Amino acid sequence: MFQSIDDVQEALAKQSYFADRSIATTVFLASKLGKPLFLEGEAGVGKTELSKVLAATLKTDLIRLQCYEGLDASQALYEWNYPKQLLRIRLGEATNGSREDIDKELFSEEYLIRRPLLEAITADGEQPPVLLIDEIDRADEEFEAFLLEVLSDFQITIPELGTLKAKRQPTVVITSNRTREIHDALKRRCLYLWIDYPDFDREYEILRTKVPGIDERLAGQVCALMQQLRQEDFYKKPGIAETIDWGAALMALHKDELDAETVEETLGCIFKYRDDIESFRQGNLVALLEQADVNKSM
């Protein structure tokens, strides 16, 4: 449990996540008020990473539910293990087991397949787990309504077993890439946080930590160029992951300075779409590099 906003910032920094004040404030409040965090932002700004780091900070498990179109309760909550149940019946028949025994056993927890939501609710570790519901915009609207139900009281009723209630509420993080609008009803239950691309200082710090040993000057150039690229009009702007990948690639190539040729060779680390690579090539790379140099030395 966090004591203050500064406390959050420090704890996250220990896990190499450099949260700005707005992120730290919202995380702090989420833990204090016991509300889910609803994270939105461009792809690659560190939404998923934040929940991983949060789990590490709280010294607990991360339970992840990756959403996709058609995701339903049996994939998110629980399912009976039918094949195993059938085997049990056959075994009972073969060994002349009593009917009562089979009846009793068949719908016990042994035959229950726990999916992430149930797992999060029934977790009995020392600390309640962090439940990450990733990319909820990919799931159907029906699932949102279902999730709303689960998140409001953290209990699940399984007809054959009874009601299971979380002993302590898990820390819930929901992320969305905004490929569609999420219902307000769900968002209003959460604390809303828009995560932006990091500014130069934060990104520089991240890069130096994630790629230890990277040349200071090179790291500065990389971050400055990235900051600049995000101002430009690309289909998929490079995120933090790209910065780290690129930094690591440059390290591996033993580069300690950026020049046009090096950038050209490693474009694949920065852009994931052919269109973007082409429109980048049309731009004036030399000017960008000079600009990056000026910015960095500021």
Of 238 and 247, the one with the shorter C-beta distance to another protein is 238
CB of 248 to another protein, least distance (A): 26
Residue 176 neighbours by CB under 8 Å, 6+ apart: 38, 39, 40, 135, 136, 137, 182
The interface with another protein within residues 22-41 (CB under 8 A) comprises: 22, 25-26, 28-29, 32-33, 35, 38, 40
Identify the bridge partners of residue 134 per DSSP, sorted by sequence position. 66
Stretch that binds another protein, among 53-61, 128-136, 173-181, 243-251 (CB under 8 A): 173-181
x/- mask, another protein, residues 79-118, rule CB under 8 A, reads: ---xx--x--------------------------------
CB of 149 to another protein, least distance (A): 13
Among 68, 109, 235, 286, binds another protein (CB under 8 A): 235
- Checking 76-79 for CB contacts under 8 A at 24+ apart, the result is 76/115, 76/116, 76/117, 76/143, 76/146, 76/147, 77/115, 77/117, 77/118, 77/150, 77/156, 78/112, 78/113, 78/114, 78/115, 78/118, 78/156, 78/158, 79/112, 79/113, 79/115
The interface with another protein within residues 140-159 (CB under 8 A) comprises: 140-142, 145
Of 42 and 293, the one with the shorter C-beta distance to another protein is 42
x/- mask, another protein, residues 178-207, rule CB under 8 A, reads: -xxx-xx--xxx-xxxx-------------
68 binds another protein (CB under 8 A): no
Residue in 222, 178, 146, 144 with CA at minimum distance from that of residue 47: 178
- φ, ψ of residue 163 to 5 degrees: the values are -95, 130
135 binds another protein (CB under 8 A): no
233 binds another protein (CB under 8 A): yes
**How many other CB atoms are found less than 10 A from the CB of residue 179?**
8
Between CA 159 and CA 77, with CA 65 as vertex, the angle to 5 degrees is: 5
Site residues, another protein (CB under 8 A): 4-5, 21-22, 25-26, 28-29, 32-33, 35, 38, 40, 70, 72, 74, 82-83, 86, 140-142, 145, 179-181, 183-184, 187-189, 191-194, 233, 235-236
